[in-house]
Chains A and B, each alone.
Chain A
């Protein structure tokens, strides 16, 4: 069962302080500036708390009065203390239950739950040069700006640790753009269509150097013009 702690052994004991202790190293490290990804997404819409990205940020922490406990405003990061995996799994489930309860009121037979439900829209996100993919749930966001912020947080760690040298250079030097693959398999620039339409048609995301993304934007506009 998950959560059981295997208690197999003993702890290493620390020697008593003062007994041949090595000189305390007071290594001072300054903060390196985290590199802001310049994701070329349209701004607009209010900034909403995003519970799915990591590292999460606390929404408007009140530090003005240190004597009183911070007044609870928007949702706090990591509160209630439930792991993201469980939280996401339950989001999908509770949407299904609401659907089932509604249909049960109408019909005596319990409605078969659809796989995945309407509760989430997970898509894979890749960034050129990053060692592995991430996943985001597009339903967690309301606007392109929210998504942009989430993606920045998600991929900032790669650039911050500096292990992925190529991407650091790319972000430092030139812009990156975010593109998405839609239901037809075409790659489009993110931000051209209304948000709801984007969520409905987006199958996956890819963050690439802007130099590689030439020619996408016009196609997107044309595509949706002919359709409507």
Chain B
């Protein structure tokens, strides 16, 4: 495709018509605005220079999935018209304390400065995931973001406190979305906590979504109630665990059109609003004002009083598609009568306290289920077994349309996993966590190779896989041979040697994200992936058998990869091997601010 192929412009009149390539650019830009899917946009930008220009000019949603991969200046030069920006920081294994804190503490600062200097003048929304943001960053943003700025969301972020939120609340006048989810905010002295809820401007706000379920101090309820009362557009509200059931009821009375509700403690407390509270009142709160027709998602339940669980049954039966009970240790007796009414559920997160019988019941009623997470009440290798292969098999029998599952258990069998691979062909995400490391099939004593092999063989749409249990190289042979769509792979305590890693790197042609911990993989395995690393977003290998030599070799042959060696061991326990290898492609080269425990090759 080139400019020479287009038609000639019509014969000129005294007033000049724009030159042909400018016409084309205008047409292209108009057309490309309709192109939304990220991969389509990427493809379009590679066609030729004018397509590249047009696509860059019309790019509205920008996702920098590794904040270290591109500088804000570069991003702003190429995509000046970005409205929505997503930035992702730390690798996922940092969530499990594998990465020392301070690994990339100031990665966000240049972005904050860029936003403050209007590098993205059309910016409307900013989403940050696993990024350290300081109160000063937030203050800078708050004071300099354009009036068109509307949405700010933090997921798994850290480094800021109520002071930063207060800056945002008081200065971002048109704010529609403020979501702070699963963040580890800085602890503050009790008398230093800022009342950020009261910092929102007086008068009506434009708030559509307000979530602060991870905020640890108590928010003064009077201020919260007042804020909700003057936010007529509020559709999503997620409160923290200090909000009692009585207080929740008051908030619900002010917000009849909620679609998403994070319910806080879901237990009566000692507040004034809880006086005389009874089941009937809560039942009424959930079943009146057309609530059943609008409420689609419920979460929270941070301290669930089990006798109150059935009060949400009315909405559950009607319109509820998403339910997060993952902080509520519900027993089977409590769960069974409730789940029988949740026929429309598509997404469910529960604790394994519901046991196999709870999962069996769920499978028999929730026929529309697509996403399931069964999380452990007691996350230890030697915890009591609450769910098993029985639950997994039942789920596969009942929920044939399942697309995504995360299942924690103590033990598993190949047979159950094979059954699921046959019953649930729509699976895109299969994450099985057998909490006992190196556990084989507990009935046959065999490794779990055949189970995972069946998953990759039978679930052709599989894009994300997490393995566990005792696995030999054969499991990885299967994954390499059949897992042609797999993009994200997590492996822990598995395999016999380098051959396993070789199978993966040479077989999984679409692999983009690889997380490996504590496997006997060495330099030979790593080097077998040279041909593919540039196609990947990152590789994480920790607790393996890599050496400095091997990693240097990778760095030497792949100059565009940033190869970081991170040491998380204390002085006294350091060995000569590599502790953590984290490598990622980057347009910027090695970063400047590197803590002492990181070495970039």
A75 touches B381 (CB 8 A): yes
Mask, A27-43, CB within 8 Å of B = 1, is 11111111010000000
Q: Does A172 contact B (CB under 8 A)?
A: no
Residues of A within 8 A of B595 (CB): 157, 160-161
B410 and chain A: residue at smallest CB distance: A80
Report the Cα distance A23→B590, complex, angstroms: 11
A79 touches B299 (CB 8 A): no
A2 touches B307 (CB 8 A): no
Q: Does B278 contact A (CB under 8 A)?
A: no
Min CB–CB distance A199 → chain B (angstroms): 19
Residues of B within 8 A of A29 (CB): 594, 596, 598-600
B543 touches A72 (CB 8 A): no
Report the Cα distance A9→B95, complex, angstroms: 24
What are 25 residue pairs bridging A and B, where the CB atoms are less than 8 Å apart in the complex? A1-B324, A1-B347, A2-B213, A10-B39, A12-B78, A17-B558, A17-B559, A22-B589, A23-B559, A26-B601, A28-B601, A31-B596, A31-B599, A36-B571, A57-B568, A61-B573, A63-B575, A72-B381, A72-B437, A79-B96, A79-B381, A80-B381, A82-B96, A94-B378, A132-B161
Total interface residues in chain B, CB < 8 Å: 115
Min CB–CB distance A9 → chain B (angstroms): 3
Given that A1-B299, A77-B97, A89-B327 are known contacts, is A13 also in contact with B42, CB under 8 Å in the complex?
A: yes
Residues of A within 8 A of B214 (CB): 85
Report the Cα distance A110→B305, complex, angstroms: 10
B571 and chain A: residue at smallest CB distance: A34
B322 touches A1 (CB 8 A): yes
B62 touches A90 (CB 8 A): no
Residues of B within 8 A of A26 (CB): 555-556, 601
B187 touches A17 (CB 8 A): no
A2 touches B65 (CB 8 A): no
Min CB–CB distance B557 → chain A (angstroms): 10
Selected contact of A25 from candidates B46, B98, B589, B599, CB within 8 Å: B589
Residues of A within 8 A of B575 (CB): 63
B431 and chain A: residue at smallest CB distance: A81
Residues of B within 8 A of A9 (CB): 38, 41, 59-63, 82, 84-86
Give the residues from 40 to 66 in chain A that come closer than 8 angstroms, CB to CB, to chain B: 54-58, 61, 63, 66
Residues of A within 8 A of B101 (CB): 54-55, 157
A21 touches B560 (CB 8 A): yes
Give the residues from 91 to 137 in chain A that come closer than 8 angstroms, CB to CB, to chain B: 93-94, 97, 110, 113, 124, 132-135
| Segment of B165-173, B226-234, B282-290, B515-523 in the binding face | B515-523
B153 touches A6 (CB 8 A): yes
Residues of A within 8 A of B85 (CB): 9
Query: Chain B: residues with CB nearer than 8 A to chain A?
Result: 38-39, 41-42, 45-46, 59-65, 69-70, 74-75, 78, 82, 84-86, 93, 95-102, 105, 125, 127, 129, 153, 155, 161, 181-182, 184, 186-189, 213-214, 260, 267, 297, 299, 302-303, 306-307, 322, 324, 326-327, 329, 347, 349, 351, 353, 375-381, 408, 433, 435, 437-438, 492-497, 517-520, 522, 534, 543, 545, 555-556, 558-560, 567-571, 573, 575, 577, 585, 587, 589-590, 594-601
Report the Cα distance A17→B575, complex, angstroms: 34
Min CB–CB distance B327 → chain A (angstroms): 6
Residues of A within 8 A of B555 (CB): 24, 26
Q: Does A14 contact B (CB under 8 A)?
A: yes
Selected contact of A69 from candidates B60, B267, B493, CB within 8 Å: B493
Q: Does A83 contact B (CB under 8 A)?
A: yes
Residues of A within 8 A of B594 (CB): 29
Min CB–CB distance B269 → chain A (angstroms): 8
**On chain A, which size bracket covers the interface?**
35 or more
A10 touches B596 (CB 8 A): no
Min CB–CB distance B236 → chain A (angstroms): 10
Residues of A within 8 A of B63 (CB): 7-11
B519 touches A85 (CB 8 A): no
Q: Does A87 contact B (CB under 8 A)?
A: yes
Report the Cα distance A77→B573, complex, angstroms: 14
Min CB–CB distance A207 → chain B (angstroms): 14
Report the Cα distance A56→B65, complex, angstroms: 26
Report the Cα distance A31→B98, complex, angstroms: 18
Residues of A within 8 A of B155 (CB): 2
Selected contact of A76 from candidates B86, B105, B518, B600, CB within 8 Å: B518
Top 9 A-B pairs, shortest CB-CB distance:
A78-B96, A9-B61, A24-B559, A32-B596, A9-B63, A133-B187, A10-B38, A55-B100, A82-B379
Q: Does A174 contact B (CB under 8 A)?
A: no
Min CB–CB distance A210 → chain B (angstroms): 22
Query: Chain A: residues with CB nearer than 8 A to chain B?
Result: 1-3, 5-15, 17, 21-34, 36, 54-58, 61, 63, 66-70, 72, 75-87, 89-90, 93-94, 97, 110, 113, 124, 132-135, 153, 157, 160-161
Residues of A within 8 A of B96 (CB): 77-79, 81-83
B327 touches A27 (CB 8 A): no
Selected contact of A97 from candidates B86, B329, B519, CB within 8 Å: B329
Selected contact of B596 from candidates A94, A113, A133, A161, CB within 8 Å: A161
Report the Cα distance A55→B153, complex, angstroms: 26
Interface centre among B84, B97, B569, B599 (most CB of A within 10 A): B97
Min CB–CB distance B107 → chain A (angstroms): 13
B596 touches A80 (CB 8 A): no
Residues of A within 8 A of B437 (CB): 72, 76, 79
Given that A84-B97, A133-B189 are known contacts, is A7 also in contact with B38, CB under 8 Å in the complex?
A: yes
A61 and chain B: residue at smallest CB distance: B543
B102 touches A161 (CB 8 A): yes
A135 and chain B: residue at smallest CB distance: B187
Beyond the given pairs A57-B569, A93-B327, 19 more chain A to chain B contacts, judged by CB atoms under 8 angstroms and listed by A's residue number, are: A1-B260, A6-B153, A10-B59, A10-B62, A10-B63, A11-B63, A12-B69, A22-B589, A24-B555, A55-B99, A55-B100, A66-B522, A69-B494, A69-B519, A77-B96, A84-B97, A132-B186, A133-B186, A133-B189
